[in-house]
């Protein structure tokens, strides 16, 4: 752990004085370790993907890598207490959710696993999630909440509220939440959330909130080009993923703590309602082979849909696929 902190400190110092060479001697003085140790850790940082120049008699200088989500780049910007304080980073992995499942209770609460690409990114019900290299945010938040397993689905609403409000604030586009797990814009999907857990009847061992956001993708495969979009496609320029990740984690932590510590999910539900893509709309609810039609009249305090069905009865819907009637495209 100490060596990771040391490497984060090296990156923070180099980042704070970008463009400037900092001698091994100064780094060793500031961090109270030998110059050999500094040199050793600089080499490890390079292997992790940082571009650090070294020039004889001048020292070390970091080369700006705008496009990286390396932990050292994120930690300094993070304003959270627990969420993302431990970041596990991959250039490539099958799926960040699967990694969390494999590690299970070896991971600590609040750990964020992030990868530049996923080779087997997953959606719900075994569907595939396209996760091209360096183009999006593919991450999992690992949590150990002391809540009944039935409450686990609320974490999807917390994540949706955090992602939607952050994109609105940081990028300035009017994204909407398509209950239960999508963030959409202009009728296309920008983000999907996959919450999974390991639990017994009355106890959650751990819970994984997987978040996939199309940030700088410009081209989608034929299978999904009708339903998918990215922030860059919508605003016509690329966006810094670090700012998005750190802000999302901050809002996520606030809403999560409201829920866990104060037992309140009101703020989350208020955001989910304010930015809902389906509230007051007639929708089809698809579950397996059954299709039901009705009007969405509320999102309940439990994060479920309250529907007025065609037969005049009210019904609470806890899960399913939703599509808005009369609209083509994804929403």
Nearer to ligand BT5, 24 or 210 (CB): 210
Q: What phi and psi values does residue 110 have, to the nearest 5 degrees?
A: 95, -5
Q: Give the shortest CB-85-to-ligand BT5 separation in angstroms.
A: 19
Is 181 annotated as a binding-site member? no
With 0-12 / 13-18 / 19 or more C-beta atoms within 10 angstroms meaning exposed / middle / buried, residue 48 is: middle
Q: Give the shortest CB-99-to-ligand BT5 separation in angstroms.
A: 8
- Residue whose Cβ sits closest to ligand BT5: 192
Q: Give the shortest CB-56-to-ligand BT5 separation in angstroms.
A: 43
For residue 88, the cross-strand partners are: 113
Q: What phi and psi values does residue 43 have, to the nearest 5 degrees?
A: -65, -40
Is 127 annotated as a binding-site member? no
Is 96 annotated as a binding-site member? yes
Strands ordered across the beta sheet of 321-324: 314-317, 305-309, 290-299, 282-287, 321-324
Helix (H) or strand (E) holding 99: helix 96-103
Nearer to ligand BT5, 10 or 113 (CB): 113
Query: Which spans of this chain sit near ligand BT5 (rule: CB under 6 A)?
Result: 95-97, 118, 121-125, 127-131, 138-140, 181-182, 189, 192-194, 210-212, 214, 224, 227-228
Q: How far apart are CA 185 and CA 142, in angstroms?
A: 27
Is 108 annotated as a binding-site member? no
Is 189 annotated as a binding-site member? yes
Is 97 annotated as a binding-site member? yes
Q: Give the shortest CB-164-to-ligand BT5 separation in angstroms.
A: 14
Two tokens at 306?
């309250």
Beta strand 112-115 with 87-90 is parallel
Nearer to ligand BT5, 139 or 299 (CB): 139
Nearer to ligand BT5, 86 or 96 (CB): 96
Q: Give the shortest CB-259-to-ligand BT5 separation in angstroms.
A: 21
Dihedral over alpha carbons 213, 216, 220, 226 (to 10 degrees): 60
| Numbered residues of the known binding site for biotin | 95-97, 118, 122-124, 189
């Amino acid at each position: 752990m100490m060596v990771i902190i040391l490497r984060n400190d090296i990156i923070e110092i180099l980042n704070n004085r970008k463009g400037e060479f900092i001698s091994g001697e100064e780094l060793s003085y500031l961090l109270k370790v030998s110059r050999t140790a500094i040199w050793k850790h600089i080499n490890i940082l390079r292997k992790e993907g940082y571009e650090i120049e070294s020039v004889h008699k001048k020292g070390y200088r970091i080369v700006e890598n705008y496009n990286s989500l390396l932990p050292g780049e994120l930690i300094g910007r993070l304003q959270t207490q627990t969420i993302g304080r431990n970041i596990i980073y991959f250039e490539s992995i099958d799926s960040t959710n699967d990694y969390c499942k494999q590690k299970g209770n070896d991971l600590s609460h609040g750990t964020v696993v992030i990868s530049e690409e996923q080779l087997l990114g997953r959606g719900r019900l075994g569907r595939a999630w396209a996760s091209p290299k360096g183009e999006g945010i593919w991450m999992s938040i690992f949590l150990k909440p002391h809540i009944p397993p039935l409450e686990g689905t609320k974490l999807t609403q917390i994540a949706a509220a955090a992602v939607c409000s952050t994109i609105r604030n940081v990028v300035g586009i009017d994204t909407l939440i398509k209950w239960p797990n999508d963030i959409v814009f202009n009728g296309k999907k920008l983000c999907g959330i996959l919450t999974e857990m390991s639990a017994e009847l009355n106890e959650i061992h751990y819970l994984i909130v997987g978040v996939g956001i199309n940030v700088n993708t410009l081209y989608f495969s034929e299978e999904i080009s009708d339903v998918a979009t990215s922030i860059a496609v919508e605003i016509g320029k690329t966006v810094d993923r670090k700012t998005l990740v750190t802000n999302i984690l901050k809002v996520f932590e606030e809403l999560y703590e409201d829920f866990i510590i104060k037992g309140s999910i009101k703020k989350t539900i208020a955001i989910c309602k304010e930015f809902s893509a389906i509230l007051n709309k007639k929708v089809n609810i698809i579950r397996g082979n059954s299709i039901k039609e009705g009007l969405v009249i509320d999102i309940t305090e439990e994060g479920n849909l309250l529907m007025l069905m065609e037969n005049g009865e009210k019904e609470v819907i806890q899960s399913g696929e939703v599509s808005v009637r009369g609209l083509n495209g994804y929403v």
